[in-house]
Amino acid sequence: MPFNREKANKFSHERIINNQVIKEKIDQYRIICDIDKDNNVRKEVQFRFQQNEMGNVRKVDFIFTIDSSFTELPLNDDIPSAKMGIVNFSSNIINLNKKSDIYDKSGFINPQKYNEIYNSNILTFVCPTFNLVPKEDDSLSVVDSIRKEIYDFYYNNSPFNSVKLIESLFNVIREANTSLKLKCRNQKCKSNDKTLNRKDIGILVDLDKVHIEPFKCEHCGNIMYLTDYLRLHEAIDEEFGHSTVLTRFAQVTEHLISINLIDTLIKHKSWNLLTNTAFIIDGPLAIYGEPAKIHRSLLRYLHYISEKLENPIIYFGIIKSGRLKDHFTLLEKKIELEQNSFMLVDDSYRFKYIQKAPENNQYFGQEVSFGQDFLFYSKGKKRFVVSMLYPMRNKDINFKENAFDYRNYNNLSTVLNLINEISIDLYEDAILPLALAHKYAAISLNPGTNILEKFIKSNL
C-alpha cells in the first residue's frame, strides 16, 4: 500500500526545534531500542544470521502482485464534509521467463506500456464515508450503507471472471469455523440485551445454512451479511466519519483478491500454474484492526491449499518500511553482514533490540499475524524484510517451537532465491510491480480478465 508522506517544511521545522520548551522535552527522550555501540547486538547478530543454503529450491515462473490506493472525495464543493471513499485495486502478473517490454528500441521507457502497468485497475470500491445516505433508502445510517456497500462489492465482483469474492471469503472463514457469532446492528434487538453476559450477546449463524446470501437476524429480522464478520463498519464513527475503514478494507481485500486468484486456478484445475506462481503481498502477513480475527482463517486456508498441492504455496509479504526495516538499516551500518544470509526475528531478539514486548499478549503478533518476519541480506547486498507464512495451520499449539525455527519453513530457500533472482531496488515508496516491470514482462489485469488466457499468452 502506498503511504502519503508529507514533505516536512524545513523552515518551520527549524523554528520548532529552536523553541526552548521543545528542546528540553526532546532531550528527555531517546529512541526505543536504538542499537548502541556497547551492547551485545553484534554478537547476537553474528550468532543468528545464517547462510541461505541453495538446496531444495523450486523454480518460480510467475509473480502475482496486488496493490491498492485509496482516497476520500467531497461530493460537492459547498458541503466538503460529505465524502465518498474510493479504493482502487490493481494487480499484475510478472512473467519471470520473459524480458521486460516497457523499453522501446532506443532503450527509452514506453510511456504507454508504463502507464498500463501503473494504472492497471482490476476493481474499484466506492462507498460513503461521511454525511451521505443512499437516495433510494435515506433511512439507512452511514454505518448500514457502508455494510451494504462492502457486501455488494464482495458479492458482485469476480476479479478473475470466475469466482465471486464473497465465495473466497466464505471459503476462508469456513476453513476455520462451522458457525459464527455475529452482532446484530439493531440496538433494541433481544440479542443485544444489556443484561446478557458478554459471551451471550449476538446471534449464532450456521455458515452452511446462510452461505453467501444475506440473511435475517432470528430475533428482530434485521438484515445481516457474511461480510459483517470483518467488522469493518465498526471502524466508522457516525459523528466524525472515518477513513480508517478504507485502510482496513483495502488491507483485508488485498489478501482476499489473492486468495480469489488461488480459488480461480483451483476451479480450473491449474495446479501447475498455482505451484509455480509466487504471491507477493505488499506488507506483512497480518490483518490489523477490526477484521484482525480473520488472520487465523487465512493461515488455515493457505495451509489447506498447500496440502492440495504437491509443494506448499509460495505466499509471502515484503515489508518496505517500519521498525524492522529501520533496525536492519542500522545493522547494515554498524555490523558487517554476510551476503545471502538471513535471520529469523524471534521474540527474544525483537523485544531486546527492536521494540518493547506487548503488555497483554504472550507473543508478538498474537492477535494479527499469520507470518513470521525474517531479515534477508541478499546476494546483491540489498536488505529485505520478508514475512513468511507460519509453518503450522494453528497458531495455538507450541507456537514458539514451530514459528521460531527456520528449518520449519519449507519454502524459505525458494523465497530467498527468488528475491536474489529478481533483485529489485525496493526503496521505501517503490511499487513492486513497477520495480519488477523494469526487468520482466508484466501483464496488467483488468476487470473481467480471463486469467488463464493471460497466463497462457504470457508464456508464448
Site for Zn ion, rule CB under 5 A: 184, 186, 189, 217, 219-220, 222
Rounded to a whole number of angstroms, the minimum distance from the CB of residue 190 to Zn ion is 7
CA 189, distance to chain mean position in Å, is 35
In the complex with Zn ion, which residue's Cβ is closer, 183 or 439?
183
Q: Shortest gap between Cβ of 184 and Zn ion (angstroms)?
A: 3
Cell reading at 46: 553474528
SS (H, E, C) the chain: CCCCCCCCCHHHHHHHHCCHHHHHHHHCCCCCCCCCCCCCHHHHHHHHCEECCCCCCCCCCEEEEEEEEEEEEECCCCCCCCEEEEEEEEEEEEEEEEECCCECCCCCECHHHHHHHHCCCCEEEEEEEECCCCCCCCCCCHHHHHHHHHHHHHHHCCCCCCCCHHHHHHHHHHHHCCEEEECCCCCCCHHHCCCCCHHHCCEEEEHHHHCCCCEECCCCCCEECHHHHHCHHHHCCCCCCCCHHHHHHHHHHHHHHHHHHHHHHHHCCCHHHHHCEEEEEECCCECCCHHHHHHHHHHHHHHHHHHHCCCCCEEEEEECCCHHHHHHHHHHHHCCCCCCEEEECCHHHHHHHHCCCCCCCCCCCCCCECEEEEEEECCCCCEEEEEEECCCCCCCCCHHHHHCCHHHCCCHHHHHHHHHHHCCCCCCCCCHHHHHHCCEEEEECCCCCCHHHHHHHHHC
Q: Which is nearer to Zn ion, 173 or 203 (CB)?
A: 203
Pick between residue 105 and residue 194 the one whose CB is nearest to Zn ion: 194
Residue 419 C-alpha cell reads as 528475491
By beta-carbon proximity to Zn ion, the closer residue of 217 and 412 is 217
Nearest-approach distance from CB 290 to Zn ion, in angstroms: 20
> Shortest approach of Zn ion to residue 223 CB, angstroms?
10
CA–CA separation, 88 and 107 (whole Å): 31
Nearer to Zn ion, 213 or 429 (CB): 213
Q: Are 169 and 227 in contact (CB under 8 A)?
A: yes
Q: How far is the CB of 148 from Zn ion (least distance, A)?
A: 16
Shortest distance (Å) from residue 144 CB to Zn ion: 13
User: Is 183 or 268 the residue whose CB approaches Zn ion more closely?
Assistant: 183
Please say which residue, 182 or 416, places its beta carbon nearer to Zn ion: 182
Nearer to Zn ion by Cβ, of 127 and 203: the residue is 203
Judge contact between 83 and 128, C-beta under 8 A: yes
Between residues 168 and 191, which has the closer beta carbon with respect to Zn ion?
Answer: 191
One-letter amino acid at 338 equals E
CB closer to Zn ion out of 5 and 209: 209
Q: Is 335 exposed, middle or buried (0-12, 13-18, 19+ CB in 10 A)?
A: middle
Write down the least CB distance from residue 217 to Zn ion, Å: 3
Task: State in angstroms the smallest separation of the CB of 189 from Zn ion.
Answer: 3
* Shortest Cβ 215–Zn ion spacing (Å): 11
CB of 234 to Zn ion, least distance (A): 16
- Given the complex with Zn ion, which of 226 and 252 has the nearer CB atom? 226
Bridge partners, 66 (sequence order): 91
CB of 206 to Zn ion, least distance (A): 16
What whole-number distance in Å separates Cα of residue 375 and Cα of residue 41? 15
Q: Which is nearer to Zn ion, 227 or 306 (CB)?
A: 227
Minimum CB distance to Zn ion, residue 257 (Å): 31
What grid cell was written down for 89? 485495486
